[in-house]
Amino acid sequence: MKKILFFITVFVFVCGFCFGADPAEGFWISFDDKTGQATAGWEIYTVGNILYGKILSVTGHPQDVKAENCKDNYRGFPVQGKVSDMTVVGTPWIFGLKMDKPGNWSGGQVIDPDNGSMYKCKITYRPKDAEEEME
């Protein structure tokens, strides 16, 4: 009986963990607005109550390219060190977002590692069905 109770407890915990993630979290692909071509693969994740996004891969560039066009530091950047010496892949370019409600995050920043510009950032998750209705 104790084994069954243990497995049920583990199952409920794992299911709660899997379904408890915010819908904005996960693995995403960004596309160039002008060409429609994929530009990067991203991991969007939370640490505590803050949302971050780091590039996992880039298209058309070596995976170890450095963000040489960036400044040495940015206000609120979540990683210590000179940003201009960091690689594009593996660095959290999206940072500081706070949840407004599940699937909606705002108040953060995003840095374009190609040119070093920093912008305000918000992320809104829209299910595929909602996208089709908008078109």
Amino acid 128: pLDDT: 79
Four-residue CA torsion sign, 26, 36, 62, 96: negative
The pTM of the full predicted model, rounded to 2 decimals, is 0.79
Structure confidence at residue 6 as a pLDDT band (50, 70, 90): very low
Domains with residue ranges and CATH for the chain: 23-134 (2.40.128.520)
Rounded average pLDDT over 13-33: 73
For 64-79, what is the mean pLDDT?
96
CA angle at 65 for the pair 62 and 71, rounded to the nearest 5°: 155
Distance CA 49, CA 86 (A): 25
CB atoms within 10 A of CB 14: 10
pLDDT of residue 132: 52
